[in-house]
Amino acid sequence: MTAAHTQTPLPERNCFASAPWIATLLAVKALAQQPVSLWKSYVDSSAGRVLRFFSTLQELGAFAVITLGVTITKFNQSKRVVHPLIVHHIWKAGVNLLPMVGFVGVALGLLIIGQTVALLSRVGALEYIGTVMVTVVVRELGPLLTAILVLARSGTSNAVDLGTARALGEVEALESLGIDPVHYLVMPRVIGLAISVFCLTTYLVLLAMVSGWVFAFAQDIPLTPAAYFGQIGDALRVQDFVFLALKTGLFGIVIAVVNCYHGLARPLQIEEVSSVTTRAVVESVIGCVLIDALFLIGYLVV
């Protein structure tokens, strides 16, 4: 009798069941056997997301209306405290961003002229450079890029600051002192960001136009400054100025309201601050893009 015959046989088992790929296959098979419940859970989760989206939208709208009401009724109340805060937020969201926005403005001018000038000179349409600059920089990219820069630099810091203040109970402390948190914390940020986005966009647009001409000049394009800025002047319409002011102001308001809402609206734990900041950034970008789309319709209609 050999040694093999004397060994006790191993208990029968599926030795592959523990392999990761088999486990995955088994899981997929199990899911496939429950198509109805999977579909139902998908619908439930999608419906839940849609409902949550509309609920958040409604709450954001209510928060914006409250902020507007406070701004109208209390703008001149406690001036010694609140007005310096507006200046502080213009400084923080506007003046501090001048170098960064300046860099982006110069780069934007170079990129747009660099990309379009070769194409336009090839088809003999150099007289449209001004129109391209106005359409791309003044109407679309300028305001949106500036808004995203302000969001990245100041919007997020607002969400973190206010979320931390909420988590540490500082907002309740303000209320106990009879200080309206919307008046003290939100209103200065909304006004500060609206003014900042408008001013920074104007700054970015001017720099992009000047740097665009410098690049064209450097490439020996036969375009005098008078002709270049004349083209831009011809392409600009009155509604461009009005829409630029409205759009950039709205971008600033949306960024401030969304970030302040997420920082303040509900009780937070300190560990939740990062997740609400992420949500605030995503919703701010969506808000700005939606506003941009609305203004696009406005440009087409007017």
Partner 1 sequence: MTAEPLIELREVDVAREGTDTVLVRTVNWQLARGDFWAVGGDQGCGKTALLATIAGLQRPAAGTVLIKGRDLTDAPEAEQMKWRRQIGFVFEGTGRLLSHLRVADNIALPLQYHLDLSDEAAHAKVTDLLTRAGLADLANTWPSRLSPRQQQQISLLRALAVPTEVVFLDNPLSGLGLSGVRWWLEFLEALRAERPITVVATCHDHHEWRKLPNHRAMLEAGELHVISGAN
CB of residue 228 to partner 1, shortest distance in Å: 47
Binding to partner 1 by CB under 8 A, coded x per residue (else -) over 64-83, reads --------------xxxx--
Say how many residues touch partner 1, by CB under 8 A: 21
Give the Cα separation of 155 and 257 in Å (integer).
Answer: 9
Under rule CB under 8 A, residue 272 binds partner 1? no
Give the Cα separation of 48 and 96 in Å (integer).
Answer: 41
CB of residue 100 to partner 1, shortest distance in Å: 23
Under rule CB under 8 A, residue 170 binds partner 1? yes
Check if the beta carbon of residue 146 is closer than 8 Å to that of residue 248. Answer: yes
CB of residue 124 to partner 1, shortest distance in Å: 59
Under rule CB under 8 A, residue 178 binds partner 1? yes
Task: Give the distance, in angstroms, between the CA of residue 93 and the centroid of all CA atoms in the same chain.
Answer: 14
Under rule CB under 8 A, residue 184 binds partner 1? yes
Cβ neighbours for 239, distance < 8 A, ≥ 6 positions apart: 298, 299, 302
Under rule CB under 8 A, residue 168 binds partner 1? yes
| Interface with partner 1 (CB under 8 A), residue from 56, 121, 157, 164 | 164
Under rule CB under 8 A, residue 176 binds partner 1? yes
Report residue 299 as tokens. Answer: 């440009």
CB of residue 189 to partner 1, shortest distance in Å: 13
Q: Give the chain's end-to-end CA distance (angstroms, integer).
A: 100
In the bound state with partner 1, the residue whose beta carbon lies nearer, of 210 and 265, is: 265
| Interface with partner 1 (CB under 8 A), residue from 140, 161, 272, 292 | 161
In the bound state with partner 1, the residue whose beta carbon lies nearer, of 169 and 230, is: 169
What is the number of helices (H) and of strands (E) in the chain? 14, 0
CB of residue 173 to partner 1, shortest distance in Å: 4
In the bound state with partner 1, the residue whose beta carbon lies nearer, of 213 and 261, is: 261
Check if the beta carbon of residue 193 is closer than 8 Å to that of residue 252. Answer: yes
What secondary structure does DSSP assign to 139-188, as a single string? IIIHHHHHHHHHIIIIIHHHHHHHHHHHHTTHHHHHHHTT--HIIIIIHH
Under rule CB under 8 A, residue 282 binds partner 1? no
Q: Tell me which amino acid residue 50 is.
A: V
Unique residue bearing structure tokens 């920089």: 137
The phi, psi pair for 5, rounded to 5°, reads -70, -30
Stretch that binds partner 1, among 24-32, 33-41, 168-176, 213-221 (CB under 8 A): 168-176
Residues engaged in binding partner 1 (CB under 8 A): 78-81, 161, 164-165, 168-170, 172-180, 184, 267
